[in-house]
Amino acid sequence: MKTIFLIRLIGLISITASVAAQAAGNAAAGKTVFRICASCHQIGPNARSGFGPQLNGVFGRKAGSLSDYSYSAAMKNANIVWNETTLKAYLRAPGDVVPGTKMRLWGFDNDQQIADLLAYLATNK
């Protein structure tokens, strides 16, 4: 009985570690995913807002708060602070998280792409 429990526990730990590694994301892969976003958003040392807001330092930023971008009223009033949870939800379904957003992306349906994208965004503070 103890042996079966230990085998199951070891299997569960392996699965959990695998899921955690996947959830952590890969910034290099996220840079590739960001190409989808790059038609509207900039990131990096010379980034500026244009068709969409620049995304440097997005983690911890209040939604709709950059002074150099004209946000929708919905985004300005969203009362969201961007973190891993809020960004994951927004990237999956922008219009569900902020109804009335100007974001034209339908959303990502791949958890690994979202994790990779978030890892990449986190490297640009």
* DSSP characters over 35-86: GGTTTT---STT---SSS---TT-TTPBTT--TTS---HHHHTS--B--HHH
pLDDT of residue 125: 85
Has residue 33 been placed in a domain? yes
**Average pLDDT value for residue range 11-20:** 41
- CB contact at 8 A, 97 and 8: no
Q: Which amino acid is at 97?
A: V
Q: What is the mean pLDDT of the chain?
A: 87
Q: Which range of residues forms the domain containing residue 80? A: 25-122
Rounded CA separation 88/94 (Å) = 10
Has residue 86 been placed in a domain? yes
pLDDT tens digits for 16-58?
333 444 458 999 999 999 999 999 999 999 999 999 999 999 9
Greatest pairwise CA separation for the chain in angstroms: 64
Has residue 47 been placed in a domain? yes
Has residue 15 been placed in a domain? no
pLDDT of residue 39: 94
pLDDT of residue 24: 87
Has residue 104 been placed in a domain? yes
The CATH number assigned to the domain holding 52 equals 1.10.760.10
Has residue 53 been placed in a domain? yes
Has residue 11 been placed in a domain? no
**Average pLDDT value for residue range 3-20:** 44
pLDDT of residue 22: 43
Count structural domains, the chain.
Answer: 1
Gyration radius (Cα) of the chain, Å: 18
pLDDT of residue 15: 40
Indicate if the pLDDT at residue 93 is higher than 80: yes
Has residue 4 been placed in a domain? no
Rounded CA separation 117/76 (Å) = 23
Rounded CA separation 48/33 (Å) = 19
